[in-house]
Amino acid sequence: MKKEQKIDTFQENTFVLKEHSDSSVVQTFVHRSKIPKSKADQISALRAEISAYLFDYLSKYQIPTHYIKKLSKNQLNVLKTQAIPVIVRIYNFINSIFKINFMVQEGAPLMFPVIENYYLNPEFHKIIINETHIAGLNIIPLEDFRSINKLALKVNALLRPLFERRNLILSEIELECGRFKNKILVCGELSPVTFKVWNKSAKNKIDFDYFNFQGDNVYEQYNEFKKRLIPGS
């Protein structure tokens, strides 16, 4: 049985989940954009490599994830989880929207990470929600909702300094979770599809658009990001 899941975050990208065993699935990365197929396939492979590296990094700090191993250039073997229709988005820095809405300086660090939650309905539309929606509509158990946010903050706290050591700024990150044997795991994808990154120059100047992962040089941006992130790659 094949199930396609759309990650409607910062770009139009998808991956496909296909059964592998009773407890796992194959996660195949597919990059869909108006670029030559050869480049799109290369980006899919880069997304898979970046995700595998970051999931493996998190596992070293006892963060539960669905990742098992990398199978091929664009495929991961992951646990077959029960999807939780709640997405967590965490902001670490003031972005252009915060700048306009709150009249603050773009690029400044937030005093504390800001969390937004979204309900992902069956049509893959994201609806912003809070704890009262969770309880009032009985979307998921309230305890699970709080556990998901706590887990997301731990992931953010681990990845943010990792990026900083590469002169990269993790401006925001979006995470999905799932259940496996009654345990909540980080699922989905960890790549530029699910986070926004700013570049920090040697003079500590921030370039907000250096890594926008769009345009004619989108492959080159993915490739540079991968080389910056993964030592020896």
State yes or no: pLDDT of 1 exceeds 50.
Answer: no
> How high is the pLDDT of residue 14?
62
Q: What is the pLDDT of residues 8-41, one digit of tens each?
A: 333 344 677 787 788 999 999 988 777 888 999 9
Q: So what's the pLDDT on residue 205?
A: 85
Q: Quick: pLDDT tens for 182-230.
A: 999 999 999 999 999 999 986 678 899 899 998 889 999 999 999 999 9
pLDDT at 147 over 80: yes
Q: Residue 82 and residue 104: Cα distance in Å, rounded? A: 40
Buried b (16+ CB within 10 A) or exposed e, 155-184: bbeebbeebeebebbbbbbbbbbbbbeeeb
Every domain range in the chain assigned CATH 3.30.200.20: 2-79
The yes/no answer on whether domain 82-217 falls in CATH 3.30.470.20 is yes
CATH number of the 2-79 domain: 3.30.200.20
Give the pLDDT confidence of 88-142 residue by residue, as tens digits: 999 999 999 999 999 999 999 999 999 999 998 877 688 999 999 999 999 999 9
Mean pLDDT of 145-149: 98
The model's pLDDT over 33-53, given as tens digits with 9 standing for 90+, comes to 778 889 999 999 999 999 999
Q: Which residues of the chain does CATH 3.30.470.20 include?
A: 82-217
Q: Which residue has the tokens 């252009």?
A: 96
